[in-house]
Structure 1
């Protein structure tokens, strides 16, 4: 997706660049691309309008799309994502970019001291987060592969996964099947091209209709739309029939949180960093940031914390009340965009606040 420059209200005179933190093989405009492979019909289920994002037009409905629903489709998606293809997903020039070197940073079994600020580093401390956060792979409708980050959350069906809406479908895309990403494949605990807990194709997915309300906007130029940048997925079970939540465990999910200043931990699989930092990020290992939350340019729709993650970290969880000993917390937002400040100031990774709209998506997903 093209990276526009945005100057938030009240920040005149300071150049800031907001962009989606998605990992992609090329820059695409999702409003005009055509789907490469056939897809099932989408449907919408009406709901009461949300109080979140008053600037977005139209009613707030749950817009859904079918993924790999048959055994044959699941096998095809699983075969598509070879270790080599996973490593290259998100490379800007896949034809000439070599497979990135594996990140062999050693694990550290000691728990990270609580409330330790971290602008970005490989997560080496294990715990549940190492199992239920992973890399989400997909193919854009123009045929190029990309990746985001996603998380298994506690749910009634034990199969619900949360990410960013723009990892599923471009903002402002027409309301038809030709704009959804396909070949969706979630690898929890992804590490150096391996699948420690297996890979999971996606059976169905959902975003808010307000995410696609206006084809003339982008999420970075209309931040009210960015307040709807949440996507929910229902994963197919493992080969033996076990739901993904039984394989990986899950993180709690919370709505209308966090409070300003609350200490938050963020995880993702970036392919790039900000302000010259994170140059070694190649998507092979999970990266961690931590710090107090602060309002974003469209508070309370967006909020963030200091973090140097960029492309590929989209959809990653922002966890409040995170226990560094167990690796568990409460997902209170997912990464939607980053902000690179001029003059060497600390970069910010912003999350979409999980409000009423996200709650409806979650209720829909966990009932599947």
Structure 2
């Protein structure tokens, strides 16, 4: 299959070419700089309420999805041409039990310091409507149902009608603590999910990039329990979640599973281990509603948590946003990683998910 085939270009449009979803997709040129949220009918007057989708609701569906995500399939998720892509080598960076000194900036590297973040953050796998696999990052957050994840909207669906067959991704599967093709804490299929209804607005001309810049690239998912009935948070623990206004210069820690760009054999990351960045937060010059820090994560980091008040000794903090894009879209120094920070839209989604029974 040619790298410029129509199928691959459709996948690029579905995933959001400038967003950091590890998808089998061609990276398209950057869009024009934006000084503020785009003034389109979709971003100016469309309603904002949870637009919901359904995942695996029967034991048969759960078993099928669990069997689908084999070690090799997980390792290859996000490859441009998986049929001819070598299986990535394992990341054997040794662990370091010593806590990272507080306030240490980090441009990007394998997280070696353990703690709760090693269990509550994981890789989120899915299959596009054309049958190709991709991946993002997601986090277990505190909720009454002990089954709630936060991630990016573009990790769950493309922009368009939620009723369309090809809008929502399939085979959604969360692997907390993913490491080198293994499921150290098991795998959890997604039962129900939601994005802002702003993602329903493709007919009015808004792209995923437009909606990300406008601050709507947040999503929640409710996962099925493990065999035996234990909810995910009882196994992994969970991170706090909050919806504060961003503060420039506030020190944040970001985590994700970057996959590199396309099938570049020289790419720094292969999705094998969780990667960490840390530094002071700042708004994006081209997208002031997005907040980020210096970081070299790439595709696959989408949906990963940005935590404030992160305790490097315990690996716990408060999730205040999820990774959306890089400096390609939001501007600023290269490399940078930007989050959709949680506000009223994210709160509506969380309130929908928190009591949703799995």
Query: TM-score band (shorter)?
Result: 0.7 to 0.9
Q: Deviations over 1:313-365 (max 9, x none)?
A: 00000000000000000000000111149xx9531111001111110100110
Where structure 1 has 5 or more consecutive residues not aligned to the other structure, the ranges are 4-17, 30-52
Are positions 1:184 and 2:177 aligned together? no
Q: Write out aligned runs for 1:1-368 (5 A).
A: 2=12, 19-27=18-26, 55-171=43-159, 173-178=160-165, 179-215=167-203, 216-221=205-210, 223-225=212-214, 227-272=215-260, 279-297=267-285, 301-340=289-328, 345-368=333-356
Give the Cα–Cα distance (whole angstroms) in 2 for the partners of residues 248 and 91 of structure 1.
Answer: 28
1:298: how far off? 5.9
Contact 1:205–1:232 at 8 Å: present in 2 too?
Answer: yes
Give the 3 Å change call, closer, same or farther, for CA 365–345 of structure 1 in structure 2.
closer
What whole-Å deviation, never above 9, does each CA across 1:179-230 have from its counterpart, x for those lacking one?
Answer: 10010000000000000100000110000001232342223245544x1101
Distance 2:130 2:90 in 1: 28
DSSP-derived class of the 1:90 partner: coil
Cα-to-partner distance string for 1:117-175 (whole Å, 9 max, x where unaligned): 0010000000000000000000011111000000000001000000000000113x234
2:244·2:320 contact (CA, 8 Å) conserved in 1? yes
Q: Separation in 1 of the partners of 2:25 and 2:233?
A: 33
Q: Which runs of 5+ in 2 are unaligned?
A: 1-10, 29-40
Per-residue deviation at 1:303?
0.8
CA drift at 1:59: 1.0
Query: In structure 1, how many angstroms separate the alpha carbons of the residues matched to 2:99 and 2:73?
Result: 33
TM-score (norm 1): 0.84
Secondary structure of the residue aligned to 1:95 is: helix
Kept in 2: contact 1:223–1:298 (CA 8 A): no
Paired residues, number? 327
TM-score relative to the length of structure 2: 0.86
**Structure 2 vs 1, CA of residues 345 and 305 (structure 1 numbering), >3 Å: closer, same or farther?**
closer
Distance 2:21 2:212 in 1: 17
- The Cα of 1:300 is off from its aligned counterpart by 5.0
Check 1:239–1:222 CA distance in 2 against 1; reply closer, same or farther (3 A cut).
Answer: closer
Distance 1:338 1:192 in 2: 25
Which residue pairs with 2:4 in the alignment?
none
Distance 1:89 1:76 in 2: 17
Distance 1:263 1:54, change over 3 A: farther
SS in 2 for 1:110: coil
- C-alpha separation in 1, matches of 2:319 and 2:280: 15
Local SS of the residue matching 1:197? coil
RMSD: 2.5
Using the alignment, how far apart are the partners of 2:199 and 2:302 within structure 1?
15
Assess if the C-alpha contact under 8 Å between 2:43 and 2:206 holds in 1: no
